[in-house]
Amino acid sequence: MSKPLILVLGDQLSPSLASLRDLPEGAVVALCEVIEEGRYVPHHPQKIAMMFAAMRHFAAELESSGVRVHYSHLDDDDNCQQLLEEAERLARHYGCDEIRVARPGEWRLYAAIQARREAAQQAPRTEEAQGEEAPPGEETALPWRLVEDDRFFTTPADFDAWARGRKSFRLEHFYRYLRKRTGLLMEDGQPAGGQWNFDHDNREPLPDHLAFPKPPTHEQDATTQAVLALVASRFGEHFGSLEAFHWPVTRTQALAELTHFLNACLPDFGRYQDALSDQSPFLFHSRLSAALNLGLLSPIEVCEAAEGEYQAGRAPLNSVEGFIRQILGWREYVRGLYWTRMPNYKRGNALGATRDLPAFFWSADTEMRCLKRAIEMTRDHAYAHHIQRLMVTGNFALLCGVKPEALCDWYLAVYADACEWVELPNTLGMVLHADGGLMGSKPYCASGKYIDRMGDHCRQCRYDPKKVTGTHACPFNSLYWHFLEEHREALGDNPRMKLIYGSLDRMKDEKREALHQQAEAFLARLETTPAYGQGRHLAGYRHSDKGSEHRDASDHADSQDAY
Ligand code: FAD
Ligand code: DLZ
Ligand code: SF4
């Protein structure tokens, strides 16, 4: 009879987890806080605190249901501070004969586990060796067993089967396939409301004086308070503040967030899904991604709850369909892409981007108001909504040619919901078009006109979204045309970009040259930051000269052209 050690990772906090099913007598469940996981990118302190607090609460719940649990605290003297090594140490300590783990959320860990499995297969443990204590450094390899994580609508094998033989893997096709397979928002085999997609109803800009729902707060018990103090002392130098910590760290708290979303946000979720607000970080968004990714909520229960609101007449179809598409569609789709394309996916850089990360991504020290607010909200809440990630920080990085590894590390570090299986395809594929168009048929590039239309940042900005050259011109405008010029070879023949390249071609030479000069001058002044590990990601880092990105802006005459 085997005696396994079950390693439960920080984002596997679901009692129904495949590796926790049918536990044999004597099995030990281990959860391990380790420095290595907290530092491989400089995670936002709120993200680390949320994970540790949720892990501690989950371990206590397992224990109270009779499971034998070992919890490695970060400050335990014997904690070896590396996840897989710590699991092996514990397995030896408890005399376990194998380590079981559900598929992790990052290729890095998956590959390390596979390497250990292979090592164990090459050096099988004999009956005698299992009983003896080997001298330190000479232990025989312990067998690792990986089980599929089935807390999703699909497995990577399902995605692979769907994708096989297809020329393109667009989200819309996968989403429709999953709608049919699950029956979500289906009526007599047809999509509810006669349409698969209500996107055109979901692009309303922000009206003036709109009131936003106030998010729930959660009691911070002694466990959570201890974690907040620990994280402040051990990771306090990372970018991000702990002050406004509000994340749910138990299933009960996560369910309270879900109820709040269904009652107060879902009815307006659809129409303001793409809106930008200078004041509100959350608008009508659910803020459920972190709880979903930790495993406190399941995607199925969340989608069914939203569908129930439509069926009960409490939420309109455009909102409910828009919300379900994000979870049933995008979330599953990016996960399938990730697991079926890695590790090569991460090497993609189809547009040949080479720039380091702009320094103000770590300081919010910029006069570009939309970027400043997105980064400030990120710092204060470990959160920014999708349009801020895609069309503000992401769009800026795309237009400036920031290299994928620099941008991916930033997104992986700064958001409470960040895990590579979901972060990487969104950053590398959706934002940077670095996968050569596998995920999106065209890049999501936009000028200041888009940001102006969708919200109220521009009214509070020193730049003017209607100007394209001159000291007051919104930098997004010249960068946009510069980007199109730079990538004509890769994008010029794209049918979805024909119209915009037509406008570029019709532009007078002097104007094109003025735009080019404006963008080049901006890029020459843009301060960047070295890769993580060289210290400049730390809170309090400020680049040398506030507002320097416009310091010697060209004095071309302002143009009133808007794009
Ligand atoms: P809502 O707007 O309320 O949406 C509902 C749910 O749909 C989310 O909770 C999330 O689970 C899911 N969802 C929405 N959009 C996406 C998407 N594009 N891909 C996958 N799931 C989606 N999401 C993460 O969970 N982790 C990440 O690390 C992450 N990194 C991102 C990086 C970039 C550059 C971009 C553009 C997007 C990223 N996203 C990521 C997707 C999305 O921005 C977040 O899921 C969303 O903003 C979370 O806020 P919310 O829960 O209020 O979402
Ligand atoms: C993100 C994170 C952090 C900060 N710390 C831990 C930890 O101490 N222990 C742990 O099990 N997981 C942690 N994680 C999450 C992992 O880095 C990793 O992203 C997931 O476990 C992949 O499924
Ligand atoms: Fe952003 Fe340009 Fe608007 Fe300023 S003017 S908020 S930089 S889009």
Tens-digit pLDDT profile for the chain (563 aa)?
689 999 999 999 999 999 999 999 999 999 999 999 999 999 999 999 999 999 999 999 999 999 999 999 999 999 999 999 999 999 999 999 999 999 999 999 999 999 998 888 776 555 444 545 555 555 668 899 999 999 999 999 999 999 998 988 899 999 999 999 999 999 999 999 999 999 888 888 888 889 999 999 999 999 999 999 999 999 999 999 999 999 999 999 999 999 999 999 999 999 999 999 999 999 999 999 999 999 999 999 999 999 999 999 999 999 999 999 999 999 999 999 999 999 999 999 999 999 999 999 999 999 999 999 999 999 999 999 999 999 999 999 999 999 999 999 999 999 999 999 999 999 999 999 999 999 999 999 999 999 999 999 999 999 999 999 999 999 999 999 999 999 999 999 999 999 999 999 999 999 999 999 999 999 999 999 976 655 444 444 333 333 333 322 222 222 222 22
330 Cα to the center of ligand 1, angstroms:
8
Residue 205 φ/ψ, nearest 5 degrees: -75, 175
Q: Which ligand is nearest to the CA of 248?
A: 1
461 Cα to the center of ligand 3, angstroms:
6
Helix (H) or strand (E) holding 147: strand 144-147
Is residue 63 packed enough to be buried (19+ CB in 10 Å), middle (13-18) or exposed (0-12)? middle
Pocket probe for ligand 2: among 5, 9, 19, 335, the residue whose CB has the most ligand atoms within 8 Å is 9
Residue nearest to atom 3 of ligand 3 (CA): 458
User: 473 and 558 in contact (C-beta within 8 Å)?
Assistant: yes
Residue (of 80, 63, 60, 61) closest to 72 by Cα position: 80
- For 22: left if phi > 0, alpha if psi spans -120 to 50, otherwise beta; the answer is left
Sign of CA dihedral 501, 503, 506, 508: negative
Pocket probe for ligand 2: among 7, 11, 339, the residue whose CB has the most ligand atoms within 8 Å is 11
Atom of ligand 3 nearest to the CA of 392: 1
> What's the whole-model pTM score?
0.93
Q: Which ligand is nearest to the CA of 468?
A: 3
Atom of ligand 2 nearest to the CA of 8: 11
Q: Is 292 in the pocket of ligand 1 (CB under 6 A)?
A: yes
Identify whether 343 is preceded by a cis peptide bond (ω within 30 of 0): yes
